[in-house]
Structure 1
């Protein structure tokens, strides 16, 4: 029986939000039904068990206050779902770390629920073949914040505590003083806290990187570059080289690809209209870069939002010996039309300068932001599968054959995503593997611009679904 791996999912996130009373919360095995698709369970422990998950990274995430203040989350979700209004309305600005500890404890409560067991690992060597094995990670640097404490000291305490964390996703969806984040919130366009502000990585951010990597202070924690702005990623690579960190693997745990270079001359080719400025933010609208395939049912696209990896990012991760997790979010994979994204004005000027550290201000006209409405969802399962295949094959084109060994699944299930229709939950991983084995060779033949190695497709896909990640963990989670 094949087993499966996931680099980034949230089995405890929604159950934790079900009640402020720890004794009344839904256990992590229970499937949560909801008419709101992104709130319906995608990776409860029961779904993971049925999907033959052998090892997965269970990500601990304290929801940022601007997220909970959206109408959908704060008002509509409690009426239609198991999510509790008090948990969504809690003023947790200064106590995110406390919430993270509570979520871990709630996950642990499910470890022997009605005789159903799973492991929480401090080393891959503790994994058992006949059980589900979870590894902990943290999403968003804000999770290190607790009242008037120092975030670097808090990270040190976590490294020296009873639980081991594989990685820290450095930033998330809102402004936080570690680095500038990439815009990623299509649902709440008007809230400025979701729009990137600032420039690159701050001094505090560098201290957090140093502490995460410092093995004298406890087990190393890898840095996940998902949600970092393109300039923050650029500065992160520079800082790693300056500090001699370039042999430590970089991870991007729930990614898609833009399909293009970050070179400003390439970027502007995909602008659908001139960039517009108001205050500290720049809005950019795109035409999606085309992927493999032609015709209504076969064509694919990339999502060029800078939350996704540019070609240079792919190379940086592969060169570091890192691992890229493939998101199963429709939007990230490029199967949905894209709205405009926002950049920090300071970072946008830096990008247009060609990433030159001493650059003159590039004028971007003041103007009203456009208000592009939501487009219809693409419902065809095969089309969504082809978009995933398109991203996989792009990594191979950019990174060469080594990319087959450095890709894995990083679904972001239960992270408030709209999943690909061909794999809507962790339960469907066996079906996804069969689909990839069938579709990848067809798309290799369609793509006449690249000469792929079409041998051993089953082995390549098995690597993406499980083996690549286990090999990585044997080196970096010993």
Structure 2
């Protein structure tokens, strides 16, 4: 029986939010039904077990206060779902680490529930065949915050604690003083906390990177570049070279690809209309870059939002010996029309300068930000499968044959995503593997711009679904 791997999902996130009282929380095996699609379970432990998950990374996430203050999350979700209003009304910004500890404890409580078990492992050597094995990770540097404490000291304590964390997703959806984040919020409009501000990586951010990587201060924690702005990623790669971190792998755990270079010219070419400035923010509206295929049911696109990886990012990660997890979010994979995204004005000017470190100011007109209506959701399963294949084949075009060995699944299930219709939960991974084996050769033949190696497609797909990640963990999680 084939086993499956997922680099980034959230089996404990929604159950933890079901009650402020630990004894009354829904256990992590239970399927949560909801009329709100993004709240419905996608990776409860039962779905993961049915989907034959052998190893997965459980990303522990404390929801940022600006997230919970949205009407959908704070007011509508508690009325229509098991999410508890008290859990969605954090009284402050400063106690995220306590929420992290509580969520981990809730996940552990589900071990042995109703006689069903799984492992939480601190080394790939602890993984058991025929059993579900979870590895912990942290999503967002804000998770290191706790009352009257230093985030770097808190990171050291985590590195030396009983639980081991594979990676830290450096930033998330809101402004935080480690680095500038990439805009990624389409659900909530009008809150500037979601818009990127600042420039690159801060001094505090560099200190966190140093401590995370330093094995003399506890077990190494890898840095996940998902949610970093394109300039923060650019500066991260520079900093790694300066510090001699080249041999430590870069991970990008739940990604899609823009389909283009990060050059000034390539980005501007995709503008649907001129960029507009409002205060410290720049709004950009794009045309989606075209992918493989033609015609209504065969054409594919990329999502050019800078939360996705540009071609240069792919090369940097592969060169580091890193691993890229493929998100199963419709929007990230490019199957939905894209709305406008926002940049920090300071970073946008840097991009327009061609990433030159001298001060450079390009005029961007001030003006009203335009409204974009949400487009209809695409329902065709095959179309969504083709968008995933399109992203896989783009990585192979940019990275060469080695990319087949450095891709894996990183669904982001239960991370408030709208999943691809051909794989709506962890339960459907066997079906997804069959679909990839069938569709990838077809799309290779359609794409006349690249000469693909069409041998052993089943083996290549098996690598993406499981083997590549296990090989990576044997090198970096022992």
With normalisation by structure 1, the TM-score equals 1.00
Q: Please give the residue correspondences for 1:74-113 in structure 2 after superposition, counting only pairs within 5 Å.
A: 74-113=74-113
Q: Please give the residue correspondences for 1:224-373 in structure 2 after superposition, counting only pairs within 5 Å.
A: 224-373=224-373
Taking the aligned partners of 1:171 and 1:55, their CA distance within structure 2 comes to 24
Gaps of 5+ in 2: none
Q: CA offset at residue 234 of structure 1?
A: 0.2
SS of match in other structure, 2:342? strand
For 1:394, the equivalent position in structure 2 comes to 394
Taking the aligned partners of 1:62 and 1:92, their CA distance within structure 2 comes to 12
For 2:36, the equivalent position in structure 1 comes to 36
2:23 equivalent to 1:23 = yes
For 2:12, the equivalent position in structure 1 comes to 12
Q: CA offset at residue 359 of structure 1?
A: 3.1
Q: CA offset at residue 252 of structure 1?
A: 0.2
Taking the aligned partners of 1:258 and 1:91, their CA distance within structure 2 comes to 37
CA offset digits 1:307-347 (Å, max 9, x no partner): 00000000000000000000000000000000000000000
Taking the aligned partners of 1:91 and 1:385, their CA distance within structure 2 comes to 42
Taking the aligned partners of 1:401 and 1:323, their CA distance within structure 2 comes to 14
SS of match in other structure, 1:137? strand
CA offset digits 1:365-408 (Å, max 9, x no partner): 00000101000000000000000000000000000000000000
CA offset digits 1:120-145 (Å, max 9, x no partner): 00000000002100000000000000
SS of match in other structure, 2:437? helix
Taking the aligned partners of 2:216 and 2:142, their CA distance within structure 1 comes to 24
For 1:192, the equivalent position in structure 2 comes to 192
Q: Please give the residue correspondences for 1:457-472 in structure 2 after superposition, counting only pairs within 5 Å.
A: 457-472=457-472
SS of match in other structure, 2:431? helix
Q: CA offset at residue 360 of structure 1?
A: 2.0
Taking the aligned partners of 1:449 and 1:92, their CA distance within structure 2 comes to 53
Taking the aligned partners of 1:273 and 1:14, their CA distance within structure 2 comes to 39
Taking the aligned partners of 1:436 and 1:390, their CA distance within structure 2 comes to 11
Q: CA offset at residue 92 of structure 1?
A: 3.8
For 2:46, the equivalent position in structure 1 comes to 46
Taking the aligned partners of 1:230 and 1:279, their CA distance within structure 2 comes to 20
SS of match in other structure, 1:117? coil
SS of match in other structure, 2:371? coil
CA offset digits 1:232-251 (Å, max 9, x no partner): 00000000000000110000
Taking the aligned partners of 1:456 and 1:30, their CA distance within structure 2 comes to 38
Q: CA offset at residue 149 of structure 1?
A: 0.3
With normalisation by structure 2, the TM-score equals 1.00
Runs of 4+ in structure 1 off by over 4 angstroms are: none
Q: CA offset at residue 188 of structure 1?
A: 1.1
SS of match in other structure, 1:66? helix
Taking the aligned partners of 1:51 and 1:337, their CA distance within structure 2 comes to 30
